[in-house]
C-alpha cells in the first residue's frame, strides 16, 4: 500500500491527470452554461424586484425572501449539449466561452433563452472548425501540388511569399509561370553575380 493513498488531497490531482481533453472541454463549457443560467436568474429577479418597486412605490426588498426556484436544463437537452461540446476542439474552448459571454452581455437574455444562445454558439463553433479544417486541407493539397510541379521551390517560399520565391522565379531558366509575379509585383530581382 502506498503512502499517497492515505492522503485524500492527492486524489483529485490524479483524477485530473487521467481525464481526456474532450472531457475537460465538455466540463468547462457545461460549467460555463450553468454559471450563466444562475446569473440570468439573478438578473431576472433583480428586474422583477425593480418593476415591483416602481409599481408600488415602496421598497419591501428587505422583507421579501425569494423562493429559490432555479431553471434546470432537461436531461435530454443536457445530453445533446454535452455531445455537441464533445465535438469542440480544445483550442476552440476559450473562444467559445468568450463568444458566449459576449452574446450574453449584448442580449441580456431571459433564463430560458440562455440555453438556446449556448446552442447557437456551439453550432457556430463547430461550423468554424469545419471551415478551418477544409482550409487547412486545401492549403496542404496546394502545397503538395506546387511541390510536385516545381520541386526546386522550397516549401517555405510559399508560406512567406518572400523575395527568395521571386528570385527563383525570375532568375531560373526553366520557369515560365507568370502568376508568381502577382504575389509581390513591386519587388525586382537582381541577378546574382
Question: pLDDT for 160-174, tens place per residue?
Answer: 444 443 343 333 333
Q: What does the alpha-carbon distance between residue 82 and residue 65 come to, in Å, rounded to a whole number? A: 34
Looking at residue 163, its pLDDT comes to: 41
Half-sphere exposure of 68 (CA within 13 A, CB side): 1
**Sign of the four-CA dihedral 111, 112, 117, 122:** positive
C-alpha closest to that of 89 among 48, 61, 120, 131: 131
Contact between 168 and 157 (Cβ < 8 Å): yes
Looking at residue 50, its pLDDT comes to: 86
pLDDT of 113 > 80? The answer is yes
pLDDT of 43 > 80? The answer is yes
Looking at residue 41, its pLDDT comes to: 92
Half-sphere exposure of 21 (CA within 13 A, CB side): 7
Contact between 164 and 183 (Cβ < 8 Å): no
pLDDT of 132 > 50? The answer is yes
Supply 145's cell numbers: 501540388
Per-residue confidence band for 9, with pLDDT thresholds at 50, 70 and 90: low
Amino acid at each position: 500500500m502506498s503512502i499517497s493513498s492515505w492522503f485524500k488531497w492527492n486524489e483529485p490531482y490524479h483524477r485530473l491527470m487521467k481525464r481526456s481533453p474532450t472531457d475537460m472541454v465538455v466540463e468547462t463549457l457545461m460549467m460555463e452554461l450553468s454559471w450563466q443560467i444562475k446569473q440570468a436568474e439573478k438578473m431576472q429577479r433583480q428586474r422583477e424586484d425593480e418593476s415591483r418597486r416602481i409599481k408600488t412605490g415602496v421598497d419591501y426588498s428587505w422583507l421579501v425572501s425569494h423562493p429559490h426556484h432555479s431553471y434546470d436544463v432537461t436531461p435530454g437537452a443536457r445530453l445533446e449539449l454535452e455531445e455537441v461540446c464533445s465535438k469542440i476542439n480544445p483550442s476552440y474552448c476559450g473562444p467559445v466561452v468568450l463568444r458566449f459571454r459576449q452574446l450574453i452581455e449584448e442580449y441580456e437574455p431571459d433564463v430560458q433563452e440562455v440555453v438556446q444562445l449556448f446552442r447557437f454558439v456551439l453550432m457556430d463553433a463547430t461550423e468554424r472548425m469545419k471551415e478551418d479544417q477544409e482550409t487547412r486541407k486545401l492549403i496542404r493539397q496546394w502545397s503538395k501540388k506546387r511541390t510536385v510541379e516545381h520541386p526546386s521551390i522550397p516549401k517555405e517560399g510559399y508560406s512567406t511569399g518572400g523575395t527568395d520565391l521571386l528570385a527563383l522565379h525570375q532568375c531560373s531558366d526553366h520557369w515560365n509561370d507568370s502568376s508568381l509575379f502577382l504575389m509581390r509585383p513591386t519587388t525586382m530581382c537582381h541577378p546574382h553575380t
